[in-house]
């Protein structure tokens, strides 16, 4: 009896193994292609990416730096950075002929105290302004990129703006503040 049970068990196990493996079960059934008239061509889809402005980070609003500005005051403060000597400063109050002009092609023209500066400028994504001088104090810059200043815009309105920058050098800290008005 034990032999018959063992033979029947092996026969049933073999039958189950061989019947469960078939080539048809391995091949996927292809889905028929149905025409879909609700899908639009890619050219009709709106891109989520906005076209960049030529001036990096420039936000189109009613208030911009573009155009001419009159210089109100240009002040530079020097500090030794250690607090051992008090800061010294130079203040220049603008004259009627002093001006800053930001153009829409990234040029900045400065006329201050009889001297002319020319620079390329970029408005960065954090709204800081990188100024790369081509002519500085009426003298051509020796190599492009050798005189670069980064300014922060403070209180930009339709009629005024203040630009600030700070440079840390071996001799201390130099901070510059430029007040402009329309």
**Number of domains making up the chain:** 1
- Judge whether 166 lies within some domain: yes
Residue 20 maps to a domain: no
Percentage above 70 pLDDT, the chain: 63
Residue 41 lies in a domain: no
pTM of the full predicted structure?
A: 0.62
Does the pLDDT at position 60 exceed 70? no
Give the integer Cα–Cα distance in Å for 50 and 4.
Answer: 80
Residue 135 lies in a domain: yes
| CATH number reported for the structural domain that contains residue 109 in this entry | 2.40.128
Residue 43 belongs to some domain of the structure: no
**What's the confidence (pLDDT) of residue 169?**
77
Per-residue pLDDT at 155:
83
Q: What is the pLDDT of residues 102-161, one digit of tens each?
A: 999 999 999 999 999 999 999 888 888 999 999 988 888 888 878 889 999 888 888 999
Residue 34 counted as domain residue:
no
Among the listed residues 27, 7, 3, 4, the one whose alpha carbon sits nearest the alpha carbon of residue 15:
7
């Amino acid at each position: 009896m034990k032999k018959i049970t063992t033979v029947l068990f092996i026969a049933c196990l073999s039958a189950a193994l061989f019947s469960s493996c078939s080539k048809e079960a391995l091949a996927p059934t292809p889905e028929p292609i149905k025409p879909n008239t609700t899908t639009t061509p890619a050219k009709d889809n709106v891109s989520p990416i906005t076209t960049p402005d030529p001036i990096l980070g420039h936000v189109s609003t009613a208030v911009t730096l573009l155009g001419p500005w009159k210089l109100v005051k240009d002040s530079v403060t020097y500090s030794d950075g250690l607090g051992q000597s008090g800061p010294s400063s130079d203040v220049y109050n603008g004259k009627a002929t002093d001006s800053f002009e930001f153009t829409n092609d990234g040029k900045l023209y400065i006329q201050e105290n009889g001297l002319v500066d020319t620079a390329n400028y970029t408005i960065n994504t954090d709204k800081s302004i990188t100024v790369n001088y081509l002519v500085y104090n009426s003298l051509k810059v020796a190599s492009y990129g050798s005189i670069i200043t980064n300014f922060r815009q403070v209180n930009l309105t339709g009629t005024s703006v203040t630009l600030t920058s700070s440079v840390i050098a071996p001799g201390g800290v130099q901070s510059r503040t430029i007040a402009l008005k329309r």
